[in-house]
Amino acid sequence: MTNKKNLVFKMKKLTLLFLLFSIFTFAQKTELKKEVSKITEGKNATVAVSALGIDFPFNYNNENVTKKLPMLSVFKFHIGLAALNLVDEGKLKLNQKFLIRKEDLLPKTHSPFRDKFPEGNVEASLDDLIYYSVSLSDNNTTDILLKIIGGTKVVQKFMNSKKVKDFQIKYNEKQMHQGAEFLYQNFTSVKSLSKLYKNFYNGKILSKKSTDYFYNILLKTTTGANKLVEQLPKNSVAHKTGSSGKDEKGLTIAENDSGIVTLPNGKHYAISVFVIDSKESFETNCKIISDISKSVWDYLNK
């Protein structure tokens, strides 16, 4: 009888502890929601936020989490995944060489590769092309990479096979430079994107070897120093950015950043923050992303 009473007492104690923990967690998450709302309050822009625990339970979404929003260069993450899938299938090799001609290196577009080899007529490995495309966000090498793997339809088909929702890729960089209407046709929701990062890290998209390789490519990203990474410890973020710049009317179609963050305890979370159709300055758009990133980091380190 005593043992039964002890068991009942322990069950009640565990239930009470669980309830207290739930109340505490709810209060904390409410505080995070308030922090994010404060950051976005009064801003003339659509801000979408999704943060998702990768190896621990955590999920934060704001009201724009399922909207289909223009990716800009964030789509280079998806392109890189599709290219490495072909490596996993044995159809391509990372050390495979490709001739890059001068006519492949378009002017008036962000291209560190063209800046280094302005005359072209050089060979570049698939490894080189992925590095320039993703880590340095090179537009020319992205279109070259797309041509090698078979175009945007190959990327779409691969994402469909992995059940990636709310995602569409139709145009390459050259086409996106021809008008704003093309930018909106390459879209994702931030909820879908964060889930993709989680599945990628957990080895559900590529082989272990390709996952490790591509994670390191994302760690080497040089763009967006004033976005997700700005207020976080160095080398804690593996990410891919996107930016449209301003049009003639002062509209920023997209200022984006997304990726995987490593916490001091070794755990990881995916985070995607998109600032869309913004009338704010470049500095304000980036600060929104930076401050939201810091708020999530602080919340998870409490």
Q: What is the pLDDT of residue 90?
A: 98
Q: Each residue of 275-300: pLDDT tens digit? A: 999 999 999 999 999 999 999 999 99
Q: Does domain 41-300 have CATH number 3.40.50.720?
A: no
Please tell me the distance from the alpha carbon of residue 234 to that of residue 254, in angstroms, as a whole number: 25
Strands 46-53 vs 59-61: parallel, antiparallel or unpaired: antiparallel
- Average pLDDT score, the chain: 93
b/e per residue 15-39 (b: at least 16 CB within 10 A): eeeeeeeeeeeeeeeeebbebbeeb
Interhelix angle 75-88/208-219, nearest 10 degrees: 150
Per-residue pLDDT tens listing for the chain (302 residues): 566 666 666 666 665 544 433 444 444 578 999 999 999 999 999 999 999 999 999 999 999 999 999 999 999 999 999 999 999 999 999 999 999 999 999 999 999 999 999 999 999 999 999 999 999 999 999 999 999 999 999 999 999 999 999 999 999 999 999 999 999 999 999 999 999 999 999 999 999 999 999 999 999 999 999 999 999 999 999 999 999 999 988 999 999 999 999 999 999 999 999 999 999 999 999 999 999 999 999 999 98
Please pick, among 73, 258, 272, 293, the residue that the annotation labels catalytic.
73
The three-state (H, E, C) secondary structure of 81-138, written as one string: HHHHHHHHCCCCCCCCEEEECHHHCCCCCCCHHHHHCCCCCEEEEHHHHHHHHHHCCC
Tokens at residue 35, please? 């922090």
| 236 catalytically annotated | no
| 103 catalytically annotated | no
pTM of the model: 0.90
Please pick, among 173, 192, 210, 295, the residue that the annotation labels catalytic.
173
Neighbours of 101 (CB within 10 A): 11
Please tell me the distance from the alpha carbon of residue 181 to that of residue 187, in angstroms, as a whole number: 12
